[in-house]
Homo-oligomer: A and B are copies of this chain.
Amino acid sequence: MALFVYKFGGTSVGSVECIKAVAEKIKKARDKGDDIIAVVSAMSGETNRLTSLAAQMQPEPSDREMDVLLSTGEQVTMSLLTMALHSLGCSARSYTGGQVKILTDSTHTKARIREIDDTNIKKDLDNGRVVVVAGFQGVDENKNITTLGRGGSDTTAVALAAALKAKECHIYTDVDGVYTTDPRVEPKAKRLDKITFEEMLEMASLGAKVLQIRSVEFAGKYNVALRVLSSFKEGNGTLITYEESEMEKALISGIAFNRDEAKLTITGVPDLPGIASKILCPVADKNIEIDMIIQNIAADKTTDFTFTVHRNDYQQTKAILEEVCESLEAKHVTGDDSIVKISIVGVGMRSHAGIASTMFKTLADEGINIRMISTSEIKISVVVDEKYLELGVRALHNAFGLDKE
């Protein structure tokens, strides 16, 4: 008997039948004697329905009211799942983020969890109840409803698993695990049985979209064992563990990519100490996540500064940069929102040389021009034109032998 946190995303609870199937899955775990906390997202389609209602009221609704609106999605799912559990004779109780309570900061639409009060949940578990919690949401100190942003339900699940010291946190989704790359791009992609947190972090942040990066960071930080598996198929999914243990570790574990990138360059910036923060702080202040950063030193005591952001944030970032450009008396701001990022990821990289040159040669052989390069201990990322995405991913998947057993 152990405690598990199960998280079910939008498609896993997308219909009455799906919710009933989820209830059966939980019931089966209860019958084995396990304690279950179920974290649920809004039914798929519901968030879009609500967002479209909001858009009809106002082009840019206030963040506070969007959070009030969108948080109803999970609240509906959590009560329906609890009813489905009751109908199977399974004792259960539902909680909104505020009821738990999951205390967050006040950054509406992108709030961060500060503290989880586990009193009510513990009491329910002790009384043999399944606890069903609305994902994606919390409350700030003034009882304002907040949401955690993209993939927030994963974050809720991991945070609960950490707070309650669950044995594993299961992320049920519509894929049956983490693959060497996206099978829609490379049909020869293979499911990984295990992957390290570090690798997963690089994979997730680079667009492998199975899990949200903050949940993986969180899981790594609090030693929560994560398992990604399918709501619909049987199988053990992919376990995300602390460190590789196999003797023969593959050089790289997977190819990640991200279609949602945009790059921005500010040229002719005076090359003075503190200039990077003067450029990036105004962007970060708007909670825009900055990804790759490159600074080139020019001859005339000025420098060019390039970085990438999520494509949705491109226009806003550009506007901010133009103000920054003026105040710094820099030259001008350019940008490109039709680029993508492709990365190879693997802890094996640490102990092997020559990985980077294999990557660059493979791309060159296909005639793909590299626009930016960024490296870390366990990954190498390149920015290329959008049109080369599929070609580049397949060439690299083949070059590193990821299609072989």
The one of B20, B64, B69 that contacts A80, using a Cβ cutoff of 8 Å: B69
Q: Which of A54, A80, A98 is the most central at the interface, judged by chain B CB atoms within 10 Å of its CB?
A: A80
In the complex, chain B residues whose CB is within 8 Å of the CB of A11: none
Binds B, one of A55-63, A186-194, A317-325, A395-403: A55-63
Question: With A16-B53, A99-B143, A143-B98 in contact, is A68–B79 under 8 Å at CB?
Answer: yes
- Known A-B contacts A72-B72, A72-B75, A86-B58; A80 and B93 likewise in contact (beta carbons under 8 Å): no
Q: Are B66 and A79 in contact (CB-based, < 8 A)?
A: yes
Complex Cα distance A247/B56, Å?
Answer: 52
Number of copies: 2
- What bracket does the count of chain A residues touching chain B fall in? 35 or more
Residue in B closest to A84 when the chains form the complex, CB atoms: B57
Q: Residues of B contacting A64 with CB < 8 Å?
A: 93
CA distance A46 to B251 in the complex (A): 54
The reply to whether A68 and B54 form a contact with Cβ atoms under 8 Å apart is no
* Residue A82 is within 8 A (CB to CB) of chain B in the complex: yes
In the assembled complex, which residues on chain B have CB atoms less than 8 Å from the CB atom of A79? 54, 65-66, 68-69
* Known contacts A72-B75, A76-B72: A83-B62 contact under CB 8 Å: yes
Say which residue of B69, B82, B94, B145 sits within 8 Å of A76 (CB atoms): B69
Complex-state Cα separation, A94 to B143, whole angstroms: 12
Q: What's the minimum C-beta distance from A81 to chain B, rounded to whole angstroms?
A: 8
* 8 A-B pairs in the complex with CB atoms less than 8 angstroms apart: A20-B57, A53-B76, A54-B79, A57-B83, A61-B83, A65-B82, A98-B143, A99-B144
A interface list, Cβ under 8 A from B: 16, 19-20, 50, 53-54, 56-59, 61-62, 64-66, 68-69, 71-72, 75-76, 78-80, 82-84, 86-87, 93-94, 96, 98-99, 101, 143-145
